[in-house]
Amino acid sequence: ASGYSNYRGILNWCVIMLHVINNGSVFMYLSCFCRYGILVDPIQVVSLFLKDPYSWPAACLTIGMNEFKKKNLFLLFFLNIFLQGTISETTGRILHFFNLTCTLIFPAALILRVTSMTPVGAVISLAIYTVLFLKLFSYQDTNRWCREIGQAKAKKLTRSYSCPTVAPCNGSAVQTHVSYPGNLTHRDIYYFIFAPTLCYQLNFPRSPRIRKRFLIRRLFEMVRRSCWMVPTIQNSMKPFQEMDFSRMVERLLKLAVPNHLIWLIFFYWFFHSSMNFVAELMQFGDREFYRDWWNSETVTYFWANWNIPVHKWCLRHFYRPMLRRGVNRRLAQIAVFLGSAFFHEFLVSIPLKMFRLWAFMGMMAQVPLAWFVSRFLNGNYGNAAVWVSLIIGQPVAVLMYVHDYYVIHHGSST
């Protein structure tokens, strides 16, 4: 259903997985599956999100997102003031910076303060606020570009900016063209907030209709994949109560397989099923949420193609503006990885309420790895190196956090 026909990278992945998985472990997993089936305890699933059934801090924090209605009013108010020339551009940027900073600090401070919030619920809430931060940043940036274009035209200057073009889904698109400042409405910003994209445009491509069969199929996939993820996560957490070095190495190798499978299931669940479900529901025409990252022969190609919404945001609002300011291309790439490393650590350390920088260092390690693979490996060897970094690299960071979390919360019982 993705439209891609080249899956050579998947073949390399299969070969590597066959070397990683011990044949006895495969038969053991298969026998457990045949004997017990899919183990999903509803009480255990709920316990991942709630400690107390009468206290829902993560849900309240997420529902509190309705407070960004005030943020939207705040944003629209100052954008209209910009048009009237009542306040300066510098003052407006300071106010926007304060608004965006509160979007990140408020949920983080609440998660650290409230002890009844579970890590899973905290991760989901914090991820939603992070997405809101990126969207509001793009919204402000794009409208600023539109203001500059209007001012340039008024002064008869030859300066222009064109928003990234995206292909609509299913042929012809249903689209009403809007021009600045006609886009500064609640309907427009709320559509953008819920749309499966991080980059704001005045005119998004729209699909002609909602396909009910496609919608139901994606919904079924979302439910089915989530039923596989929960018991796998729970079972992979249990063996870390005994933490001598030999067991650490053994559990690292055993964690590699379920961790990697969880990541693949999550990728399919989120980027293919969930985002297509939301896009179909909102008649959003741009369905390019990922490209053929499985064929990546370099680490850089993987990071540029496995998460297209974030990649487009980084290019549009971070990487290219730095190049326009004269920053070296290599330094700009490192800065992008630095920003990505910060958000990875932010989304892990805050919910777990411990600061170890494993996720940060793991992301920054991608920079020398990307240089090494592009310099010394190519073709299938480069693709194999990317798969090895995904299969083995992620479990190392996961193992570090799991170990520290168990030492902090269950040290007395182990």
Question: What residues act catalytically?
Answer: 344
The one-letter code for the residue type at 57 is P
Report which of 185, 171, 96 is spatially closest to residue 141, judged by C-alpha positions.
96
User: Which two tokens mark 135?
Assistant: 């969207």
CB 350 within 8 A of CB 324: no
Q: Per this entry, what is the length of the chain?
A: 414
- Rounded Cα distance between 160 and 100, Å, is 27
Report which of 283, 282, 237 is spatially closest to residue 262, judged by C-alpha positions.
237
CB 316 within 8 A of CB 199: yes
- Rounded Cα distance between 414 and 410, Å, is 6
The secondary structure of 221-250 as a DSSP string is HHHHHHHHHHHHHHHHHGGGGS--HHHHHH
Rounded (to 5) percent helix, strand, coil in the chain: 75, 0, 25
- Rounded Cα distance between 268 and 399, Å, is 23
Give the Å distances, CA to CA, from 232 to 65, 224, 319, 323: 30, 13, 37, 43
Stated as kind and residue range, the H or E segment containing 197 is none
- Rounded Cα distance between 266 and 263, Å, is 5
- Rounded Cα distance between 131 and 125, Å, is 10
User: Which two tokens mark 372?
Assistant: 């090494």
Calculate ∠ Cα 325-328-329, nearest 5°. 105
The one-letter code for the residue type at 191 is Y
- Rounded Cα distance between 212 and 216, Å, is 6
Q: What is the dihedral of CA 58, 60, 66, 70, to 10 degrees?
A: -100
